[in-house]
Amino acid sequence: MKINLEVTALDGGVSKCTAQFADFIAFEGEKNRSVANFQTELRLTDLAWLAWHAEKRTKKTALKFEEWIETVDSVEVGTDSAVIVPLENHQPTG
Q: Give per-residue pLDDT as tens, 6-50.
A: 999 999 999 999 999 999 999 999 999 999 888 888 899 999 999
93 vs 31, higher pLDDT: 31
Q: What is the pLDDT of residue 82?
A: 43
Give the H/E segment covering residue 16: strand 14-19
Each residue's pLDDT tens digit, 41-90:
889 999 999 999 999 999 999 999 999 999 999 999 976 544 455 555 56
CA distances to 51, 55, 86 from 61, rounded to whole Å, are 11, 6, 28
